[in-house]
C-alpha cells in the first residue's frame, strides 16, 4: 500500500489543506499520517505546505531521493481557491506531470486572455524577490531608465532599493501595480505569471520562472523586440499547462490531483 506523510503545523491554512489531502488520498486507498516534525518520514511520500515551514524536510528528501509532494501558491486565479501541487520542488523546480495534457482544465478554471498590452507611456514594473537579489537589482539599475521604474516589493520584504514604489493599496496588490505598466520585470517571481495573464509583456531573467516560456529574457531583448516589431509569444498552450499545475479545494478532496500525479510512481 502507498503511504503518505503530510507535514502540517498549526498555521490555519496548512491545517485546512491537510484535511483536504487526507480525504483525497484515502479515496485512492492511500495510507495517510500527519506529522508536525520537520524531518522526512522514510518509506512514505512526504507532503509539505510551502518551503519556509519545512526546509529540512525538503532538503533531506531531495538529497536522499525520498518522494516529495510540494503544495504552494497557485499561478493564476485566487490564491485562496487553488494551490500548486507538484513533485520534488517548488514552482519551476517542480515536476507537474505535464506529459499528456489538453485544454480541458483551462476551459474549466481559466478565462479569456486579454491581448498583449501596447502602452509605450506606461512605467517599467520591477517585482522584488523574497531572497536577497541585490546584484540583480544593481544590474537593472545600470541598464534601465530609472525615472520610469516603479518597484513592487515582495510582500514580506518592504525595501525599495532606490526606486519609486509601484502603485497599490497593499504590498501584494499586483493588479493595481500592473494597471499602468508597460512591461513587468521579474527574476522568477510568480508575478511574471500575473503579468503575462494580464497581457503585460513579461521580462523574466530566471529560467526557473513559471512565466519563462512566454517571457522575453532580458530588457535588452525587449528593446530589440519592440524596435523590430516582433510578435510576443502565444500564451494558450502555456495556460493549458498551468491549469494542470494547480488544483481546487474540491479537486483535492475528490482525489483528482492524485489521479494526475500518481503517474510518476
With b for 16 or more beta-carbon neighbours within 10 A and e for fewer, the 144-178 pattern comes to eeeeebbbbbbeeeeeebebeebbbeebeebeebb
The pLDDT value given to residue 172: 66
The pLDDT value given to residue 169: 67
Q: Domain 123-234 falls in which CATH fold?
A: Rossmann fold (3.40.50)
Q: Residue 227 — very low, low, confident or very high, per pLDDT cuts 50/70/90?
A: confident
Q: Please tell me which residue, 213 or 119, carries the higher pLDDT value.
A: 213
Domain range annotation of the chain: 3-101+245-264, 123-234
User: In Å, what is the CA distance from 247 to each residue of 11, 84, 107, 185, 261?
Assistant: 20, 6, 14, 27, 11
Q: Are 122 and 205 in contact (CB under 8 A)?
A: no
Q: Residue 62 — very low, low, confident or very high, per pLDDT cuts 50/70/90?
A: very high
The pLDDT value given to residue 229: 77
140: nearest Cα among 152, 131, 149, 153 = 149
What is the tens place of the pLDDT at every residue in 195-222? 999 999 999 999 999 999 999 999 999 9
Common-topology check for domains 3-101+245-264 and 123-234: yes
Q: How many percent of the chain have pLDDT more than 90?
A: 82
Q: Does domain 3-101+245-264 have CATH number 3.40.50?
A: yes
Q: What is the mean pLDDT of residues 44-58?
A: 92
For residues 75 and 83, give the distance between their C-alpha atoms in angstroms, rounded to a whole number.
Answer: 8
For residues 179 and 168, give the distance between their C-alpha atoms in angstroms, rounded to a whole number.
Answer: 10
Beta bridge partner(s), residue 123: 181
Beta bridge partner(s), residue 127: 152
User: Residue 161 — φ and ψ, nearest 5°?
Assistant: 55, 35
Amino acid at each position: 500500500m502507498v503511504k503518505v506523510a503530510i507535514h502540517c503545523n498549526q498555521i490555519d491554512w496548512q491545517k485546512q489543506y491537510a484535511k483536504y489531502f487526507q480525504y483525497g488520498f484515502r479515496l485512492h486507498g492511500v495510507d495517510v499520517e500527519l506529522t508536525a516534525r520537520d524531518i522526512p518520514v522514510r518509506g512514505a511520500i512526504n507532503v509539505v505546505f510551502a518551503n519556509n515551514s519545512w526546509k529540512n524536510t525538503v532538503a533531506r528528501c531531495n538529497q536522499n531521493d525520498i518522494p516529495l509532494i510540494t503544495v504552494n501558491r497557485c499561478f493564476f486565479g485566487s490564491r485562496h481557491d487553488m494551490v500548486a501541487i507538484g513533485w520534488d520542488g517548488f514552482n519551476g523546480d517542480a515536476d507537474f506531470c505535464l506529459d499528456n495534457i489538453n485544454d480541458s482544465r483551462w476551459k474549466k478554471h481559466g478565462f479569456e486572455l486579454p491581448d498583449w498590452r501596447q502602452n509605450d507611456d506606461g512605467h517599467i514594473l520591477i517585482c522584488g524577490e523574497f531572497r536577497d537579489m541585490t546584484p540583480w537589482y544593481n544590474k537593472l539599475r545600470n541598464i534601465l531608465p530609472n525615472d520610469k521604474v516603479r518597484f513592487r516589493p515582495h510582500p514580506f520584504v518592504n525595501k525599495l532599493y532606490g526606486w519609486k514604489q509601484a502603485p497599490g493599496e497593499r504590498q501584494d496588490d499586483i493588479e493595481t501595480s500592473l494597471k499602468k505598466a508597460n512591461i513587468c520585470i521579474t527574476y522568477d517571481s510568480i508575478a511574471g505569471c500575473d503579468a503575462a495573464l494580464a497581457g503585460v509583456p513579461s521580462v523574466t531573467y530566471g529560467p526557473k520562472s513559471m512565466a519563462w516560456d512566454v517571457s522575453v529574457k532580458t530588457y535588452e531583448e525587449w528593446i530589440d523586440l519592440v524596435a523590430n516589431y516582433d510578435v510576443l509569444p502565444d500564451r494558450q498552450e502555456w495556460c493549458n499547462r498551468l491549469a494542470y499545475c494547480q488544483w481546487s479545494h474540491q479537486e483535492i478532496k475528490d482525489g483528482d490531483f492524485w489521479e494526475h500525479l500518481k503517474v510518476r510512481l
